[in-house]
Amino acid sequence: MSRRAWRWLIPLSALPVLALLAYGFRVNPREIPSPLVGRPAPGFALTTFDGAPLTLEAQRGKVVVVNFWASWCYPACYEEAPVLERSWRAYRDRGVVVVGVDIQDKAEAAQKFIRDFALSFPNAPDPTGKVSVDFGTYGVPETFFIDRRGRIRAKHVGALTDEVLRTRVEPLLGEPAG
Amino acid sequence: MIPELGYGAAIVALVLALWGAVTAALGARTGRPALLLSAQHAALAVFVLVTACFALLTYAFLTFDFSVRYVATNTNLGTPFYYRITGVWGALEGSIILWTWMLGLYTLIVILRHREGARELYPWVLTVMLGVLAFFLLVITVAAPPFARQAPVPADGRGLNPLLEDTGMITHPVALYLGFTGLTVPFAFAMAALITGRVGDAWITLTRRWTIIAWYFLSLGLLIGGWWSYHVLGWGGYWAWDPVENAAFMPWLTATAFLHSVMIQERRRMLKLWNISLVILTFSLTLFGTFLTRSGVIASVHAFTQGTIGAFFLSFLALVLLTALGLLAVRWDALHAQGELDSIVSRESAFLLNNVLFVAATFTVFFGTVFPLLSEAARGVKVSVGAPFFNQVNVPLFLALIFLMGVGPLIAWRRASFDNLRRNFLWPVLVGVAAAAFFFSLGVRSAIAVLVLALTVFVASTITVDFARASRARVRLGEPLLPAMGGLLRRHNRRYGGFGVHLGILIIAVGVTGSQAWSVQTETTLRRGEYAELAGYRVRFEDLTASEESNHFKVAGAFTVSNGRGLGVLRPAKKFYPQETSPIAYVDYRLGLREDIYLVLGDFARDGSQATVKFQVNRLVSWIWIGGLVLTAGAVLAILPEKKKAA
């Protein structure tokens, strides 16, 4: 290489650094693995906003999607609420239950949220915060996927998408309940 | 309606910025003044429109317009008035508006100051400034639109991140952004020099003061950030080598290097290539910093805001780096220096070494910051390097820099004779060694502490020797002492302003060293009426009170502090925000020149019978802030217009 050609190495030297930074888009630094994955889900007994009892025990044999949310959790919970409702309608006949757990919230605001998005799956407040502590949530929204045998199989941090929900739920539906 | 107006203003501003950038470039090529005039008008209009955007967004915050997604995310009905205003730039979208506004302001000042003086460079400077403005306006209109609406409209907003509810949040981002955006000006001049091929000294002379101003604001922003961290975060520290702190520190390091190396080019016509590279690097690092904070690529305690705009910033960073370095390659021959180093023992080589050390520090900070990415890319494991890495690598570099701070300004140009060395350094070295012995005999056993203190005394002595000698020379000519000193400061304001900044840095170094070496802390659980003792202080737990504030619930403990005599009551607290899963600590402290008493409330019994408290005695921390004031005085002196030297 001639002496004059060498100088073009200067702009080229920026490329590896840029490539490394671009690589950063592929990874999510916020993903915190849950130690509960693979373990039996902690049981809970709550009362829904409609006044109906809601226990995890009663859902045994079904695939349960437990979603922690709050009306102040803006915008992530607002983004995923329609996703949850859609999926619940699509999957309910195939043995999937979506359960919403509303944490650290005011009842009126939470009920307005449920009305605004016309949520029809069971939603219950967690007044003492015990359920969210048992599940080890860091914030909202967080969603736990529980298999037919009552074990936590996956945790998702941040707003759900149809894609995420489908890829988490489908394999669990194929598993036997025994 | 208001949000649509703001959005419209941003779009028009974007079009005008692009128009101005193109017409300024055309004006440069054709030499037609009308084109340049049009570009100037466009720049003025851009500034007015961005100001309007800013005002409209502020209005949306003040009126709780929760239909605007950004407003709903960063404020709620309980947010106090003051923080509804600072909330405007509390997150990504609004902070980009603030950034763009400042950039627009700098562009106007550049027009006012340089439209007559720098005929060849000026049109291209305008093109670059408006081009950068256009990029940020593109972010505002496409990538992170602050005025985006959202349905359904929530009844209440999420609220500002509670950590940002602090007076520091008005000054810290403003100072930091004034620094970041200010660094665009030297970059624009450097690019203009490369485009026109006038890579001589004109652009350096024109941008020197700009660089000092931007550098000063950056320093101020970093210091206020340290103060915010110290009194808000509740861990008793002011610097954590967090990726976002590093993001602001790296351009500071390279800008500091540049401020020194320009003197070599002015005096000896050396380092042209190096200086242009430093300016390009500095500007790129400001973009990298924004990329880092806004993309969420690297986790950080500061990354409040993240969005899809990482790709935007990375693309722009790539464009800037490849264009600038490409131009550098094109002008390679013209940039080759004429001067040569005559001797290792000379001012040139001291400054050169200073630059090497600054760039080495920048590199290590950069390496440590992106290390999690590197390790994940190479090995698939996410590993962060923590404070120990940064400290171990950087402390020796900074010690060497402090030493050079004493040597550089006094050693002779070209080749220092033995006589020059003895004349300037004999006394300071002796005083420094004596200081080391003195501090050692006082019981200071930490090697680094002794070294820092001795070096500080050494550098301070060199400054004193220089100033005393120059004043004496004037007194001999018949001037009274005080006017002689004042005249010296005015006439050689750049030199003595620099010394002032050096003194400020020395004081900060002493504060940092002292707080690292001698701070003590303890953590105990106290029942009501019980006390804890530490370093001669006694802290007694009196009681616990709870109160409902406008947007949170607050539990505060009352602790009486005494050291033989009463020093008052401190009330550290925990604040419970509905939108946060864990409470926010509210620190209480008593600042002092020697030491600060610093209390953080931990767990407590609900009935108020007992509470855990972290009790720190932090040594010499106040000197960091005092050093900041001295640095400010020095920087102001250096920025003052240079007085014409009397013949």
Report whether pLDDT(B221) > 70: yes
Interface check B322 vs A, CB under 8 A: yes
Report whether pLDDT(B361) > 90: yes
What average pLDDT does range B52-66 have in this prediction?
Answer: 94
Length of chain A: 178
Chain B residue numbers touching A106 (CB-CB < 8 A): 578
- Say if CB B428 and CB B458 are below 8 A apart: yes
Interface check B69 vs A, CB under 8 A: yes
Q: Which ipTM score applies to this complex?
A: 0.78
Question: B72 and A73 in contact by Cβ < 8 A?
Answer: no
| Distance in angstroms (rounded) separating the CA atoms of residues B253 and B245 | 12
**Residue B647 — pLDDT band, cuts 50, 70, 90?**
very low
| Distance in angstroms (rounded) separating the CA atoms of residues B272 and B295 | 34
- Mutation target to probe the B interface, by most B beta carbons within 10 A, among A9, A26, A69, A72 is A72
- Say if CB B243 and CB B187 are below 8 A apart: no
What average pLDDT does range B114-131 have in this prediction?
Answer: 90
> What is the rounded (10 degree) CA torsion for A152, A158, A159, A162?
-50
**Residue A138 — pLDDT band, cuts 50, 70, 90?**
confident
Report whether pLDDT(B405) > 50: yes
User: Which residue is closest to A32 within chain B, CA to CA?
Assistant: B299
Write the residue in A11, A23, A24 that is nearest to B325 by C-beta: A11
**B253-268 pLDDT tens trace:** 999 999 999 988 888 8
Give the β-pairing of A96-102 and A123-125: parallel
Min mean pLDDT across B67-71, B117-121, B212-216, B505-509 is at B117-121
Question: B578 and A117 in contact by Cβ < 8 A?
Answer: no
- Mutation target to probe the A interface, by most A beta carbons within 10 A, among B579, B580, B582, B606 is B579
| Distance in angstroms (rounded) separating the CA atoms of residues B375 and B268 | 43
Q: What residues does each domain of chain B span?
A: 1-165, 417-518+624-639, 520-620
- Say if CB B139 and CB B44 are below 8 A apart: no
| Distance in angstroms (rounded) separating the CA atoms of residues B270 and B262 | 9
Point out which residues pair with B604 in neighbouring strands: B611
**B510-523 pLDDT tens trace:** 999 999 888 898 88
Domains, chain A, with CATH or none: 35-173 (3.40.30.10)
What average pLDDT does range B560-577 have in this prediction?
Answer: 91
**For residue B282, what pLDDT is reported?**
96
Q: What is the mean pLDDT of chain B?
A: 88
**For residue B169, what pLDDT is reported?**
78
Neighbours of B198 (CB within 10 A): 17
**For residue B645, what pLDDT is reported?**
47
- Identify which of B280, B106, B87 has the alpha carbon closest to the alpha carbon of residue B193: B280
CA distance B319 to chain A (A): 10
**A19-77 pLDDT tens trace:** 888 877 665 555 556 778 888 999 999 999 999 999 999 998 999 999 999 887 777 78
Question: B325 and A71 in contact by Cβ < 8 A?
Answer: no
- Mutation target to probe the A interface, by most A beta carbons within 10 A, among B319, B332, B582 is B332
Architecture of the structural domain at B520-620: Sandwich (2.60)
Going from the C-alpha of B44 to that of each of B39, B40, B66, B321, the distances in angstroms are 9, 6, 32, 28
Residue B159, classed as helix, strand or coil, is coil
Between CA B635 and CA B230, with CA B396 as vertex, the angle to 5 degrees is 60
Report whether pLDDT(B106) > 60: yes
Structure tokens at A178: 């025994």
**B409-418 pLDDT tens trace:** 888 888 878 8
Neighbours of A13 (CB within 10 A): 11
Q: Is B159 left (phi over 0), alpha (psi -120 to 50) or beta?
A: left
**B266-318 pLDDT tens trace:** 888 788 888 999 999 999 999 998 887 766 566 544 433 445 677 888 899 99
Point out which residues pair with B563 in neighbouring strands: B565
